[in-house]
Amino acid sequence: MFIRHETIEKNAILMLVLTLITISIGGIVEIIPNFTIETTIEPVKGVRPYSPLELMGRNIYIREGCYLCHSQQIRALKDEVERYGHYSLAAESQYDHPFQWGSKRIGPDLARVGGKYSNDWHYAHLIHPQALVPESLMPRYAFLAETPLETKILDKHLKANRTVGVPYTDEDIANAKKDLEAQANPEADTDFEATLKRYPKAIQVPGKPGEPTELDALVAYLQVLGTMADFSSVTPEQLNR
């Protein structure tokens, strides 16, 4: 019924051919879908690349390992949609490199946390979570408020993202530092309007003028999560593919 394993093991050419076939099948299954990846991204409007401040916040999110306790994917299940809102779309993480879907929920899902709480709340909560939610087992991140945000290679972060497919324009990269400062400081005499044009729905955070902290960046990132996609631009039928 089957080719006896001796037959394969004793015939180098046959073994080579069969190995090649097996690896090819694996390769095809893994590689071919990448060529049609665009067909899996929904035509939802509004999803844009992260603003420089949000991008830096995202880096801190990754550095601190937030994904170990917080997921960023609302699954297409009734109870999840009830609690967290519209299920996550592929389009919503198309500019995430790497994506932050996570696989564990020790804390709540953060896919749509943007705008759910005030900026003040996020600051207070990240500095001392138990002051607001006594039963929380989240660690304190007070040090982020005292750590200046490293922006020396800010444009390189944007360029690196562009290399992997995020459509940052030359203008975006040239204005990266300005955009970051405008978003991190509502008091200063900066042109946040221009930043908003490049990055609609970006939320200004109350940082200290000229010295944005890592906490400012993280809050800006959290406040935009899940707010970009404009669900009125797609019908459920378009999504139910």
Partner 1 sequence: MPTKIEKDAFSGRDTTGHEWDGLKELNTPLPKWWLWTFITTAVWAVIFCIFYPSVPGIHGYFKGVLGYSTRATVTADVAALAAQRSQVLDKIKDVPIAKVRQDPNLMAVANTAGRIAFANNCQPCHGAGGEGRPGYPALAADRWIWGGKLEDIQQTITYGIRSGHPEARQSQMLRFGVDGILKPEEIASVADFVSTLYGKAKPSPASAKGAAIFAENCVACHGDNGEGKREVGGPPLKGAVHLYGDTREAIIAQVTNPRMGVMPNWNARLDAATIKSLALYVHALGGGEN
Which residues sit at the interface with partner 1, rule CB under 8 A?
5-6, 32-33, 36, 39, 76-78, 81-83, 85, 87, 115-121, 124-125, 131-133, 135, 236, 239-241
CB of 122: closest distance to partner 1 in angstroms?
10
State how far the alpha carbon of 167 is from the alpha carbons of 49, 99, 151, 180, in Å.
Answer: 7, 16, 20, 18
CB of 157: closest distance to partner 1 in angstroms?
29
Identify the bridge partners of residue 18 per DSSP, sorted by sequence position.
Answer: none
Q: Rounded to an integer, what distance in angstroms lies between the CA atom of residue 108 and that of residue 69? A: 8
Q: Rounded to an integer, what distance in angstroms lies between the CA atom of residue 141 and that of residue 123? A: 10
Half-sphere exposure of 197 (CA within 13 A, CB side): 7
CB of 170: closest distance to partner 1 in angstroms?
32
Which one, 87 or 99, has the nearer CB to partner 1?
87
State how far the alpha carbon of 170 is from the alpha carbons of 58, 155, 159, in Å.
Answer: 21, 10, 9
Which one, 32 or 164, has the nearer CB to partner 1?
32
CB of 87: closest distance to partner 1 in angstroms?
6
Which one, 124 or 194, has the nearer CB to partner 1?
124
Which one, 49 or 114, has the nearer CB to partner 1?
114
